[in-house]
Homo-oligomer: A and B are copies of this chain.
Amino acid sequence: MHRILVLHGPNLDALGTREPDVYGHDSLSDIVQRLERLAAELGVEVKSHQSNHEGVLIDTLHGARGRTDGILLNPGGLTHTSVALRDAVAAAGVPVVEVHLTNTAAREPFRHTSLVAGAAVGVIQGFGADSYLLGLRALAGHLAHAR
């Protein structure tokens, strides 16, 4: 059974209360529950972790080595500014899928490119909480193909 780590970056702990017209009304725990239900259905195991700290995200990516088979990552605002996180993704040694709640291509220009995505398998953005579920399917599929 593949073990998948779901990493939520800065400000995702505020989901549901944070600018709900932009990010929707689901809380992070709503999303985590939906991910767990889908994981059960797909026959994979998920563990979720959120942090507003770039360093904690990097630590967690490193710590996952050997204990996880793939990572679902929403880097939040770090997406556009963190080479260190990109390097951690490249260092993770397992496939990483990048997800975003919003369609960053339809927002401010400084959100139009991702420094992290170049080290990921792929990107899913714009489907609200569904981006996570699609990302989990994408990652599970990727792991299945790679067997």
Contact = CB atoms under 8 A, between A and B. Distances in A.
Interface of A: 9-11, 13-14, 17-19, 51-56, 58-59, 62, 65, 76-88, 90-91, 93, 97, 103, 105-106, 108, 110-115, 117-128, 130-131, 133-134, 137-138, 141-142, 145
Given A103-B118, A133-B141, 9 more contacts: A10-B87, A13-B62, A52-B58, A54-B84, A76-B84, A105-B117, A112-B113, A121-B127, A137-B137
Contacts of A112: 113
A90 to B, nearest CB: 6
B65 A76 contact: no
Contact of A126 (B62, B76, B123): B123
13 contacts: A10-B55, A11-B58, A13-B62, A14-B62, A53-B54, A53-B55, A78-B83, A81-B83, A81-B84, A105-B120, A105-B123, A110-B115, A113-B113
What is the copy number of this chain in the assembly?
12
A142 B134 CA distance: 12
Given A81-B82, A83-B81, A120 B130 contact: no
Contacts of A105: 113-114, 117-118, 120, 123
Contacts of A76: 84, 87
A97 B127 CA distance: 9
A130 B142 contact: yes
